[in-house]
Structure 1
Amino acid sequence: MHEVNKIDAEDIAAALKAGFSDFLARPVMSGFFGLFYAIFGLLFVWSLVWLGKIWMIIPAIVGFPLVAPFAAAGLYEMSRRLQKGEAFSWSDILTVMADQRKREMGWMAFVTLFVFWVWMYQVRLWLAIILQDVPFSGFDGFLSIVFSTPEGWTFLAVGTVAGAILSAVLFSLTVVAMPMLLDRETNFVSAMLTSIAVVRESPVVMLGWAAIISVTMILSMVPAFIGLVFALPILGHTTWHLYQRAVPVSEK
């Protein structure tokens, strides 16, 4: 585990400003990563409809931001190079991303996707327990039951609590771990422990940042995930700068 700094609201504001500046510096390349993430989200939802898994659409949309930190790897590298004043091309960024599969980033991807899988599985479990005797057909019918019946309200309440716990756990594990693995030669366990230490050192501010990310990402998915083209890049660049403030100067 590495030494960490205490983070306050001014650090969040400064990181957001720097993240927005990075987005404006290379808007097309930054937007590409947001567009890719948005298209993947649309295809994911379409596949659930095609497979008839309509009950999975809401939890999938709610849980989709959980995998955003891994999707933003290219944005971290862009911010790293912009911060150092280095020139770079598409091939430079994509090559760095491809090389991550040989490093510890792959393990972090596994952790992220595992938590997402746990989230989807527990939603299915609560669906079976709470709504087992409530019939519905089609997505509209599912929405009607969830938002207008006692069983649906219970399902939402339980799902919200469980989702909040999982989100808090994953956020604590990854908030600086992803950019740290790209920036330094370290193992994923050390990166996760450092990330947890950052949250533990400044819990209120960091959980506030988690809330900003969650609300922004969910609102950006309405309609049709379009807002993610802008939201993901800005939040990804911002995360890099927040990592730089939270963890003392790179050892490289």
Structure 2
Amino acid sequence: MLWEEYVMTSKTEGSTPPDNQTPQRGMPEVNKVTADDITASLKAGFSDFLARPVMSGFFGLFYAVFGILLVWCLVWLGKIWMVIPAVIAFPLVAPFAAAGLYEMSRRLQTGESFGWSDILTVMANQRKREMGWMAFVTLFILWVWFYQFRTVLVIVLKDSSFSDLDGFLHTVLFTPEGWTFLAIGSCVGALLSAVLFSVTVVAMPMLLEREMDFISAMITSVRVVTENPVVMLSWAAIISVTMLLSLVPAFLGLIFTLPILGHTTWHLYQRAVQPAEG
């Protein structure tokens, strides 16, 4: 009963959906995807980036500046131990930064004209819709990640001390205790990343395009992954490696890689999920 009331409320409250959104009837159908779909989606994503490089690059620049400020604040506050988990978790929130990129790709795909105000307005309106619940899910998983990181840190490195970033990195990278800490943290982090990827990979663009509840979007996203495990985990690996490498040059690689990956995700979603009826 409570669930029925929630679904009815979620469909009536908030801003009026844009014309492009069609009320969802039942669960969306999931397609089989192949490596060729990833290749084609990457080509389409790169084409979208080239079509509007300044606007696309803006989202990458904003994300990169946020990352730089995040690390600087942690160092300034003396929270040295939080730098590594923050940097690792940073790419996990990329789907939210890519919301505007999804809308750009959608409009480019349908031949609609758009400007800065069109894209930024769409992004602002998402806070009134189901995307806000997806933010809650993401933040919860990130909270679990930080909590387990701190727990493992205390248990494994309890006798170690570090007052600066260099000392922390030396302890983690060049001591047996640090290697144990990295091994355990990496396993738990990989599990949480897999969970977050599975529930968001197509849920984010789906909620942008369609009027549906976030639970159905997450279930559909998980179905895409479970029915195409090899292809989707390969896509997850591509995202992870690309994003982490982009962090190396002071986060500046994200100016290019985030927009391309965001546009690509939209096109992969289009191939993985049947179009909405209506």
The match for 1:244 is 270
CA distance in 2, matches of 1:88, 1:117: 36
Instruction: Flag as ranges the 4+ runs of structure 1 deviating above 4 A.
Output: none
Greater Rg over alpha carbons, structure: 2
Q: Select which of 130, 146, 171 maps to 2:172.
A: 146
1:121 match: 147
Q: Any unmatched runs of 5+ in structure 2?
A: 1-26
CA deviations on 1:7-63 (whole Å, 9 max, x unpaired) are 110000000000000000000000000000001111111110011011111111111
Q: Distance in 1 between matches of 2:254 and 2:142?
A: 19
Q: What do residues 231-251 of structure 1 show as CA deviations (whole Å, max 9, x unaligned)?
A: 100000000000000001133
TM-score w.r.t. the length of structure 1 is 0.98
Q: Is 1:208 aligned to 2:261, yes or no? A: no
Q: CA RMSD in A?
A: 0.8
Q: How do 1:89-108 and structure 2 match up within 5 A? A: 89-108=115-134
Partner of 2:184: 158
**Counterpart selection for 1:225 from 251, 260, 266:** 251
Aligned mates of 2:205, 2:98 — CA distance in 1: 9
Moved more, 106-115 or 153-162: 106-115
1:181-201 Cα distance to aligned partner (Å, 9 max, x none): 000011100000000000011
> Residues 243 and 257 of structure 2 are in contact (CA less than 8 Å); yes or no, is this contact kept in structure 1?
yes
CA distance in 1, matches of 2:224, 2:197: 11
Percentage of matched positions with identical amino acids: 76
Residue 64 of structure 1 corresponds to 90
- Return 5+ residue gaps in structure 1 as ranges: none
Between the aligned partners of 2:274 and 2:97, the Cα distance in structure 1 is 24
Code of the residue aligned with 2:55 in structure 1: it is M
User: What's 1:171 paired with?
Assistant: 197
Q: Please say if residues 18 and 241 of structure 1, whose CA atoms lie closer than 8 Å, have aligned partners that are also in contact.
A: yes
- How many correspondences in the alignment? 252
Letter of the 1:93 partner, please give it.
I
1:106-125 per-position Cα deviation (integer Å, ceiling 9, x unaligned): 00111112211211111111
SS in 2 for 1:115: helix
- So what's the TM-score if we normalise by structure 2? 0.89
Q: Report the 3-state secondary structure (helix = DSSP H, G, I; strand = E; otherwise coil) of the residue aligned with 1:186.
A: coil
Distance 2:222 2:124 in 1: 27
* Distance in 2 of aligned mates of 1:184 and 1:251: 10
Letter in 2 for 1:129: I
Post-superposition CA distance 1:80-135 (Å, at most 9, x none): 00000000000000111111111100001111122112111111111011101112
* 2:28–2:276 contact (8 Å) kept in structure 1: no
- Are the equivalent residues in 2 in contact too, given 1:183–1:250 (CA < 8 A)? no
Q: CA deviation at 1:137?
A: 2.3
Task: Say if 1:42 and 1:224, in contact at 8 Å, map to a contact too.
Answer: yes
How much has 1:70 moved relative to structure 2? 1.2
- For 1:180 and 1:251, the matched residues in 2 are separated by 13
- Cα distance in structure 1, aligned partners of 2:171 and 2:143: 24
**Is the CA contact (8 Å cut-off) linking 1:184 and 1:251 kept in structure 2?**
no
The yes-or-no answer on 1:11 pairing with 2:37 is yes
Counterpart code for 1:79: S
Deviates more, 1:136-145 or 1:148-157: 136-145
Give, in whole Å, the separation in 2 of the partners of 1:119 and 1:39: 23
Aligned partner of 2:7 in structure 1 is none
